[in-house]
Chains A and B, each alone.
Chain A
C-alpha cells in the first residue's frame, strides 16, 4: 500500500518539474534564441599592405626602376591577398547561410540557390589568382578596377539577398507570437462576453487592422526575397511591417487596459 507521505512527495516533485519547464518557456519568449549578428570567423588584414604601398610611392630614395619594381611587387601582393580575402568572405557567408532554417520549400530552394551562387563567386576568385603574377603595373590597375566592378554586379546583390533572407526569417517568430496572441485575446473577449461593448469592438478592430498591415507588408517582403530585381524593396517593406507590428502591440496594451476597466471587480 502506498503511504500518504510518498504521494505528497511525488506531487511536490511533479509541481517543481512543471515550474522549471514553465520558466524555461517564458525565458525563451522574453529572449528569443538567435540574433541578427553574423560573425566573421576569419578577418582579412589589407590595411598594412595599403600603408606599405603608400610608403613605397612616397619613397624618394629609390631609383625609378627600383620604385617601379617595389610598387609592382606590393600591388601584386595586395591583389592576391584581396582575392584570398574574397574567398574568406565567401566562406563566412556560407557558414551563416547554412545556419538559416527556412521551413517552406520555396525558401529552401532559394537558400540552396544562394549557396550555389556563393560557390561560383569563390570559383571565380580562385580562377583569377594565377593571372596576377604576370601583371605589369598598368595591368594591376585595370584588373583592380574590373574586379571592383565585377563585385558590385555579382557579390553585393548576393550579399544583400542573404542579409534580407536572414532578417525575414528571424522576424517570423515575432509574427507567430503576435498571431497566437491575437487568437487568444479573441477567445478571451468572446468568453468574457465583452463582444457587445463598442469600445472593445473598436479597440480590437484597430488591433486587427494594424496586424493586417503588418502581415501584408511581411508577405510582400517575402515575395521580394525571391526576386533578384527587388533586392532594394525588401528593407522598406520589412520596416513598414515591423512598425505596424509595434503599433499592434500598442493597441493590445490599450485593449488590455480597457478589458480590465470593464470587467467587474
Chain B
C-alpha cells in the first residue's frame, strides 16, 4: 500500500517553474538547425547582397570623383562647358580687370601729360574712360586685328573698388615729388 501511494505521488512530480521558464527561453532563442544545403545557399545570397552594396557604393564614389574626366570624354557630361553660372563668373572677373587696367592707364596718362606740361589737368584726376586725349603710344604699329568693339551686354560692369595698381605707392610717390617740387622753388 505504501508503495502504491508513493507511485501515485509520482504523478505530481514536475520541474521547477524557474527552470521551466529558463529552458523555454533558451529553446525559443536558439534557431532551428537548418539542413546543410539550405544554410549554404542563404550564406551565399547574404554574401552576394553585401558585395553588391559595396560595389554600388564604390561605383558612386568613382562616378563622382571621376566626373571631371567624364566631362571630357562623354557628351552627356559635356554640358558643363556651357554652364552659364561659371561663364558669368569668369566674364565678371574680366570686367573687373578691365576697369582696373583702364584706371591704371588713365592715371599713367595723366601723369605723363602733366610732366610734359601739355595740360593743366592734375595728375590722377582724369575721369575713368576719358577719351579726351590720344594714347601716349598707339599699339597700331603692331599687326593684330581689332576685335568687334561692341561692349558685351551680358556682362555687368562692376568695379570691385577704385583701388588701382598700385594705389598707395602712387600716393607716396606724388607726395615725395610734391615735396621736392616745393623745395626746388
A residues engaging B (CB < 8 A)? 1-2, 4, 7-8, 10-11, 14-15, 18, 26, 29-30, 32, 35-40, 43-44, 46-47, 49-50, 53, 75, 78-79, 81-82, 85-86, 88-89, 92-93, 96, 140-142, 144-145, 147-148, 151-152, 155-156, 159-160, 163, 166-167, 170-171, 174, 177-178, 181, 184-185, 187-188, 191-192, 206, 209-210, 212-214, 216-217, 220, 232-233, 235-240, 242-247, 249-250, 252-253, 256, 259-260
Assembly CA distance A83 to B176 (angstroms): 9
B residues engaging A (CB < 8 A)? 46-47, 49-50, 53-54, 57, 60-61, 64-65, 71-72, 74-75, 78-82, 84, 86-87, 89-95, 97-98, 100-102, 104-105, 108, 112, 115, 135-139, 142, 144-155, 160-161, 163-169, 171-173, 175-185
Contact B169 A7, beta carbon cutoff 8 Å = no
* Contact pick for B184, options A11, A26, A47, A145, CB 8 Å: A145
Contacts of A46 in B (CB 8 A): 175-176, 178-179
* Contact pick for A40, options B136, B172, B178, CB 8 Å: B172
Contacts of B148 in A (CB 8 A): 206, 210, 247
Assembly CA distance A155 to B163 (angstroms): 21
Assembly CA distance A181 to B142 (angstroms): 27
Contacts of B84 in A (CB 8 A): 253, 256
Among B64, B155, B169, B182, the one with the most A-chain Cβ atoms within 10 Å of its Cβ is B169
Contact B89 A29, beta carbon cutoff 8 Å = yes
Contact A214 B167, beta carbon cutoff 8 Å = no
Interface pairs A-B: 9 shortest CB-CB = A191-B75, A38-B166, A250-B152, A184-B81, A40-B168, A144-B183, A145-B184, A188-B78, A30-B89
Contacts of A152 in B (CB 8 A): 115
Contact A160 B75, beta carbon cutoff 8 Å = no
Contacts of B97 in A (CB 8 A): 36, 170-171, 174, 242
